[in-house]
Amino acid sequence: MIRNNMHALMMLSATALIVLSLPVAYTMLRMKKPKARPQTQYSSSQFVFSAGAIPFVLDNGVPKKVVLVHNWKKDEWLLAKGRKDQGEELSATATREVLEETGYPCRLLSVPRLPHVPPLLD
């Protein structure tokens, strides 16, 4: 009987020690500040051109579906795009990236120019 009580007392002491140390551990973890990310400025020569397209499945010239790329790691749905190869035209980059990422060949269609400034008021 005494042995069982000693075992129960030891278990109670260990549990109390864990419970009492939790607020201290929580406080210590919250006090750690994340490292500041260094600010970097890039010159224009360090930028990389990328291109993509919005691939549609057309039925008699009418868009019926949009083809998207699923990123499994982040569970995101994205449009096909990628980096331009040296000497490659942006239009060629867009069609190549759609084919590489979706498996569908595509062609670029012209988009009507929309006004980018409001009309002048009289």
Domain boundaries, the chain: 48-102
Q: Is pTM, for the whole model, over 0.85? A: no
- For the stretch 48-90, pLDDT in tens is 888 988 888 888 878 888 889 998 899 999 999 999 998 999 9
Residue 25's pLDDT band (boundaries 50, 70, 90)? low
Of 78, 117, 118, whose CA–CA distance to 97 is shortest? 78
Helix, strand, or coil here: 107? coil
- Where is pLDDT greater, at 100 or 117? 100
